[in-house]
Chain A
Amino acid sequence: MTAKTATTASIQKFIRPEVFPSTMCPGCGHGILMGAILRAVDELGLDVRRMLFVSGIGCAGWIPSPHFAADTLHTTHGRPVAFATGAALFNPDLNVVVIGGDGDIAAIGGNHLIHAARRNLDMTVICANNQIYGMTGGQVTPTTDIGTITATTPQGNEEPPFDLCKLVEGAGASFVARYSVYHIRPLIRTLKEALQHKGFAFVEVLSPCPTQWGRRNQFADPVALLERYKTLCVPKDRAEKMSPEELAGKVVVGRFR
């Protein structure tokens, strides 16, 4: 059987057209991720009425709310995983998906993330990692690379970033993967696997922010910023054959668990 590909036409049933065009900036990776999530849902034939999309505060929190024509819970900054825990535990029939930014999920919400992973709760957490606080004007986050210019690291970031996949894997998640929005087909495939996974599934999605990250770091052009992932990212099986020197500055993508 050949896999069906969801199209923009076929995912219209999952969105609220009245809220489009979205509030995202031109070239925002979160918009690509929005489409990828809906395409994964469509290709799996899931009933969105049995899905719950939980998000926090930040541009990424707006991916499902209000764009998705499904149950959405737009919570406080950092807490979507904790809110989702209650809904998932009380109604195990709900397919609970958390969508949040790197600040939301990994800074203020980091503790909830590792505990949900430890409990191996049945939910999918998608971290839209743009390595910046987009909504508040481009401050440094726990995933910002060393050297990056942000509103609060004008001389370049000096703090090492989290490897979110390693963090969550160490905490006990039973499904861990990372892709960028540029790797759109593997990303959709991975999201489909995550949505079907029983237990805690974590997908880190590198998502370009041309406005807050790009403009400060010579990548104001959304196209150049998106295509940057082509050279930045190394697939896991290729990375396994590379030396630490060769891997320096690269981001490994793939399914880790």
Chain B
Amino acid sequence: MPEIAINRDWCKGCYICVNVCPRHVLEIDQESFDHGFHPVVVARPEDCTVCRQCELLCPDLAISVSGEEAGGAPAGESHAEPPAPAPRPLPQGWATVPSPLPAGRYFLQGDEACAEGAIAAGCNYYAGYPITPASEIMERICARFAALPGKHVFVQMEDEIASIASCIGAAWAGAKAMTATSGPGISLMLENLGYAIITETPMVIVDVQRAGPSTGQATRPGQGDFMQVRWGAHGDYELIVLSPWSVAEMYTETIRAFNLAERFRVPVILLADEGVGHLRENLTIPPEVRVFNRIGPSDREPPFGGRPVPPMPVFGEGHRLLVTGSTHDEWGYRRTSSAKVQAELTARLCTKITDSLDEIVESETYLCDDDHLDLLLVSFGFTARSALGAARMAREVGYRVGLFRPRTVWPFPAEALRVVAAKSARVLVAEMNRGQMLREVQRVVPDARGFGKTDGEVIAPDEIWDAAKECLR
């Protein structure tokens, strides 16, 4: 006689089973009432023909029928467990590898140097959508990937939402993934940027900024995304944003972006601008590159907790991973009503970055060796080149003017700025926006002044020098 087992703990009392049984084997027990409904009982097991309708149509996997069914046998445990998939043989942690591009001097565009930096860092997945002034990155990657040995996947997606989404999917399949865009694309990516943050997915996003808002001036430079890349996704989080100011740094900072992404399991944004993206200058490619490869799990370590930066497993290796953008515990189980889990997760997502500022935050000073400065210029990206020119102009006529340049813009190098700003009478921030970094500088130097320009033109050194003269008066 067939045996019909009903799992009372999983049953929710929909009674589909009772009604679909052609032989009326099951009944509702009107006498008892547990779990909030009348339970289902097996009233006439002898009438069961093992058609399995009740079992197959139970939404709760709460019915199990055992016995020979007409025309076939149950699968049971017949499939032997195949051998475990081989874990990836990737090196982990820091490594020195030969440069994919032969060492030497090259004359490249900033966007092209960014693509080369990505390849040098080990980027092997790129998804993007065309947009000025970032498209050259995608075109260079597309051409170079085709000629590189080993697995390199390039795909042009249907939009930027899909681009970042597919990068995250690829990263969990083991890739070092990148996408590049400009302001309109960043706006579209923000929801999934938050997803990459909460799932601790390493990847690189390049923003070659142009003049906005909206479509703005597609071919013109701007630095109006400074705050957007930091605060654009919803919720509380930390992420890393780097700002290159030259073609050489489009190469080196892209490598650094990948290394930081892998090291801290966080999306890293390379905040470039049309100025550096379309600039052409010399670049020296060294014979070797220092790269960091994400740490994989040893034994069964939780992928979302336990350490500030937990080890990252990949799909397809038998880890049975739960990756979710919902609040989750260290094993990835959704815990959407636990105050404790939410508090711990959001805290760790931030402190894994803020407790390691030494490894992340970089800044530079130029012409700041004097004991006392008349004026400190603070500037990032392409504008910092003009600011350095302005400082030199000031020095020619006897003013002690220096430049502070954050190379990591988020987290903002507040401590390093505090040290140089302490010896300067005044601070002036120059940027191609209406005072976005100025606010961050004012948290360190409350009376810092700003020179912002949003006419879609780069700021020239003499413009900054003119603004500096106002400050020095």
Q: Residues of B contacting A227 with CB < 8 Å?
A: 19
Asked whether, in the complex, the Cβ of B79 is within 8 Å of the Cβ of A90, the reply is no
Task: Kindly state the separation between the CA atoms of A123 and B421 in the bound complex, as whole angstroms.
Answer: 56
**Interface bin, chain B:** 35 or more
Interface segment among B62-70, B346-354, B363-371, B460-468: the answer is: B62-70
Task: Render A1-15 as a binary contact track against B, CB cut-off 8 A, 1 for contact.
Answer: 011111111110101
Asked whether, in the complex, the Cβ of A49 is within 8 Å of the Cβ of B317, the reply is yes
Q: How far, in Å, is B42 (CB) from chain A's closest CB?
A: 14
Q: Residues of A contacting B59 with CB < 8 Å?
A: 22, 24, 26-32, 34-35
Using known A-B contacts A21-B9, A26-B12, A75-B325, determine if residue A91 contacts B315 with beta carbons closer than 8 Å: yes
Asked whether, in the complex, the Cβ of B166 is within 8 Å of the Cβ of A82, the reply is yes
Task: Kindly state the separation between the CA atoms of A89 and B155 in the bound complex, as whole angstroms.
Answer: 9
Identify A76's interface contact among B10, B73, B191, CB under 8 A: B191
Task: Kindly state the separation between the CA atoms of A39 and B61 in the bound complex, as whole angstroms.
Answer: 11
Using known A-B contacts A71-B320, A222-B16, determine if residue A4 contacts B73 with beta carbons closer than 8 Å: yes
Using known A-B contacts A74-B323, A223-B15, determine if residue A31 contacts B61 with beta carbons closer than 8 Å: yes
Task: Kindly state the separation between the CA atoms of A25 and B162 in the bound complex, as whole angstroms.
Answer: 32
Asked whether, in the complex, the Cβ of A10 is within 8 Å of the Cβ of B16, the reply is no
Q: Residues of B contacting A88 with CB < 8 Å?
A: 169
Identify A31's interface contact among B60, B78, B326, B332, CB under 8 A: B60
Task: Render B167-185 as a binary contact track against A, CB cut-off 8 A, 1 for contact.
Answer: 1111111110100000000
**Interface bin, chain A:** 35 or more
Q: Residues of A contacting B319 with CB < 8 Å?
A: 71
Using known A-B contacts A5-B52, A8-B64, A184-B56, determine if residue A86 contacts B75 with beta carbons closer than 8 Å: no
Chain B residue at minimal CB-CB distance from A210: B14
Using known A-B contacts A9-B66, A91-B174, determine if residue A85 contacts B166 with beta carbons closer than 8 Å: yes
Q: Residues of A contacting B412 with CB < 8 Å?
A: none
Using known A-B contacts A5-B52, A7-B52, A223-B14, determine if residue A85 contacts B323 with beta carbons closer than 8 Å: no
Asked whether, in the complex, the Cβ of B84 is within 8 Å of the Cβ of A181, the reply is no
Identify A7's interface contact among B15, B55, B57, B84, CB under 8 A: B55
Task: Kindly state the separation between the CA atoms of A76 and B9 in the bound complex, as whole angstroms.
Answer: 31
Q: Residues of B contacting A31 with CB < 8 Å?
A: 58-61
Using known A-B contacts A65-B322, A65-B324, A90-B173, determine if residue A35 contacts B58 with beta carbons closer than 8 Å: yes
Identify B57's interface contact among A71, A79, A181, CB under 8 A: A181
Q: How far, in Å, is A239 (CB) from chain B's closest CB?
A: 24
* A84 CB-CB contact with B under 8 Å: yes
Q: How far, in Å, is A255 (CB) from chain B's closest CB?
A: 20
Task: Kindly state the separation between the CA atoms of A9 and B137 in the bound complex, as whole angstroms.
Answer: 53
Using known A-B contacts A2-B73, A7-B52, A35-B56, determine if residue A73 contacts B61 with beta carbons closer than 8 Å: no
* B195 CB-CB contact with A under 8 Å: yes
Task: Kindly state the separation between the CA atoms of A68 and B341 in the bound complex, as whole angstroms.
Answer: 22
Task: Render B308-330 as a binary contact track against A, CB cut-off 8 A, 1 for contact.
Answer: 00000001111111111110000
Interface centre among B177, B192, B320, B326, by most A CB within 10 Å? B320
Given contacts A84-B169, A223-B14, 14 further A-B pairs with CB under 8 A are A2-B72, A10-B77, A21-B62, A24-B59, A27-B59, A66-B324, A70-B320, A83-B165, A83-B166, A85-B157, A86-B127, A90-B153, A91-B174, A226-B20
Binding site for B on A (CB under 8 A): 2-11, 13, 15, 19-22, 24-32, 34-36, 39, 42-43, 45, 47-50, 52, 54, 65-66, 69-76, 79, 82-91, 93-94, 111-112, 115, 181-182, 184-185, 188, 210, 222-223, 226-227
Binding site for A on B (CB under 8 A): 9-16, 19-20, 37, 52-53, 55-66, 69, 71-79, 82, 84-85, 124-125, 127, 151, 153, 155, 157-159, 161-162, 165-175, 177, 191-192, 195, 315-326, 332-334
Subset of 28 A-B contacts with CB under 8 Å = A2-B72, A4-B74, A4-B75, A5-B69, A7-B66, A7-B75, A9-B74, A21-B12, A21-B60, A24-B60, A26-B37, A29-B59, A34-B61, A36-B56, A42-B75, A48-B320, A54-B169, A65-B324, A66-B332, A71-B323, A74-B322, A82-B162, A86-B167, A90-B151, A112-B165, A115-B157, A223-B14, A226-B57
